[in-house]
Amino acid sequence: MMKYNFFRKKTIHNILLEADAIEKRGTSNLRKTLTVKDLTAFGLAGIIGAGIFATIGNAAYNGGPAVVFLFLFTSIVCSFAALCYAEFASLVPIAGSTYTYTYIAFGEILAWIAGWVLLLEYTVGNIAVSISWSDYFTSFMEGMGVKIPDYLSMDILTALRGHKEVLALLQNGKTFENIPTHLTNAYNAWETAPHIFGFHFVADIPALAVILIIGYLVYIGIKETRNVSNFMVALKIFIILMIIVIGFFYINPANFNPFAPNGVGGVLKGVSAVFFAYIGFDAISTTAEECKRPQRDLPLGIIYSLIICTILYVLISIVLTGMVSYTELAVGDPLAFVFKKVGLHWLSGVIAFSAVIAMTSALLVFVNGQPRIWMTMSRDGLLPKIFSKIHPKHRTPHIATIVAVSMVFLPILFMNLSEVTDLTSIGTLFAFVLVCGGVLVLQERRKKNNTDSELKPGFQVFYINGKFILPVILIGGVILMFIYNHNFISEFFSICDPKYAGIPLWKVIAHKIPIMLFVALSIVMLVLTYIRNLSLIPVLGLLCCSYLMTELGIGNWVRFIGWMLIGLVIYFVYGYKSSLLNKHKSPVIEFVDNDNHTTATES
């Protein structure tokens, strides 16, 4: 009977041998050009995107001026994960990011899931950012007096559905003036679109154009990508600092009262939106093989970018809630709105331009990261070998880049993915949970084998024994929940609440499953931390990210689990059998054989 080993692991020693073999191949390895400055700029490019220009408005509306503490809280949560990423990055300077780290800590099947989830995160995230970029770009051009037709700035299904909905509303007696703007725009797009071979030509041309341009930059090389990214980061940081400095002169202290109008519950309503503003630093780790000194520079780039962004976000939230009342901030472009409110219309135009720049640089980082995940999984045999091909001139994973860009380009033609953008957050948080858990696994291995030098990274998460501290933190959290959000506690234990009237019992229970899983995980981690003296920082990172996942709703969990199940089918059908570990063959040997070089010696 065949014995299956779904949790076979890659050793750090062999991974480093693979990296060394790849580097010795000369023309086939990636070009090493990135420094600490470049990595920090990549982090800033990825983090400072649409989030700070859009989602901060609703977060401030719900939380009031106290939203500044939400930014601080989220930065602390992200810093737990960032420190864990930094430790892994210094230990294993390979482009696979969470996928490679999970392979080392938990084994192949979880590594596959991690890689598969990263593909979802990057693909959906890039689609959403491209469409959002198009919206900001068309608004900016309209402000400059250039009107882009609706049929050239919208996907075809949105136009078709909007057209049908408007017709139905008109038949029911509604007047065109009373129909929401987004529906009238869709109606106009369908009505004014030219006909080609009998079909309405409706396409989001700005979104398609930007993903092609970014894809081309990523295709031709990391040096070109770096130069463009550094320029855009410098420009948007300058504009953000200008916004902060000018905005401080228009702060009205009366707007800070009340400070937390909706209490802790109101502040926490914005947690998902604010988290959106922080994701991106993890993409730095996908550039490991293009760093000059990855084991030193990657941790520094991750930490520096997170610190700089936190400072900027806190200052912006103070300016935003100080310039106008929080009650007016439930808008899609809050920064532009507050400066229009105080009469600085010219600056609102500058902000619209900076939003376009910010999202362009973020898109550059994420499009750059996705094919490198594919490349690493392909090297290990879990994906077809073609994805690990390196362009002989540009030294980039060109086939993986073309496929990754195509996976973004094609859906933009006919899809509006606003309903699934939360998948980006849940995928990122899941990756954070795996990395934090992976650091705990490595720390346990070090305890058992102090002499194993391969387990000792250049950067380590500083150890704080969580044995007694974690119980205090969890008990304190429960007490605060009873004091400031007691309705949540009563709702959690009730299935007879009036608000559930008419809802089937299984649906009521289903919506409680994520928080139930979190409670169970908290109890398990509490016991393990007490028994095994686990390190506090990765434990807190794991628990905090798990909690944020519960805030994303059961619908996103269902879609997320569905995506993982599809991935598992592919793994069992193709990945398990094709894995180089299944063939008992070192990836080092496989790479050399493929290039008709002399076979390396497997350790």
**pTM for this entry:** 0.82
Condensed to tens digits (0 to 9), the pLDDT of residues 502-560 reads 666 666 677 778 888 899 999 999 999 999 999 999 999 999 989 888 877 777 888 88
Q: What is the pLDDT of residue 541?
A: 93
Packed helices 294-323 and 50-63: angle between N→C axes, nearest 10 degrees? 50
Residue type, 585: K
Burial of 100 (0-12, 13-18, 19+ CB in 10 A): buried
Does a cis peptide bond (omega within 30 degrees of 0) precede residue 261?
Answer: no
Whether residue 93 contacts residue 447, with contact meaning beta carbons closer than 8 Å, is answered with no
Token code pair at residue 196: 């080609």
Lowest mean pLDDT among 20-29, 343-352, 366-375, 511-520: 20-29
Q: Which residues contact 180 (CB under 8 A, 6 or more apart)?
A: none
| Separation CA 263–CA 105 (nearest Å) | 40
Average pLDDT over residues 210-233: 82
Hey, what CATH topology would domain 12-145+207-427 get?
A: Amino acid/polyamine transporter I (1.20.1740)
Shortest CA distance to 41 belongs to which of 213, 217, 291, 397?
291
Buried b (16+ CB within 10 A) or exposed e, 204-241: bbbbbebbeebbebbbbbbebbbebbbebbeebbebbe
Q: How is residue 450 annotated by DSSP?
A: T
Q: How far is CA 34 from CA 37, 237, 294, in A?
A: 8, 20, 9
Shortest CA distance to 246 belongs to which of 313, 317, 323, 311?
323
| Separation CA 60–CA 226 (nearest Å) | 34
**To which residue do tokens 């995107």 refer?**
49
Residue-by-residue DSSP string for 130-160: HHHHHHHHHHHHHHTT-PPPGGGSS-HHHHH
Condensed to tens digits (0 to 9), the pLDDT of residues 150-174 reads 888 888 888 888 888 888 888 888 8
| Separation CA 174–CA 181 (nearest Å) | 14
Average pLDDT over residues 379-397: 87
Q: How far is CA 515 from CA 153, 547, 551, 556, in A?
A: 40, 8, 8, 14
Q: How is residue 465 annotated by DSSP?
A: B
- Please indicate whether residue 450 or residue 140 has the higher confidence score (pLDDT): 140
Instruction: Please report, rounded to a whole number, the percentage of residues in the chain having pLDDT higher than 90.
Output: 15
Largest interatomic CA distance in the chain:
80
Domain ranges for the chain, please list them.
12-145+207-427, 156-202, 461-588
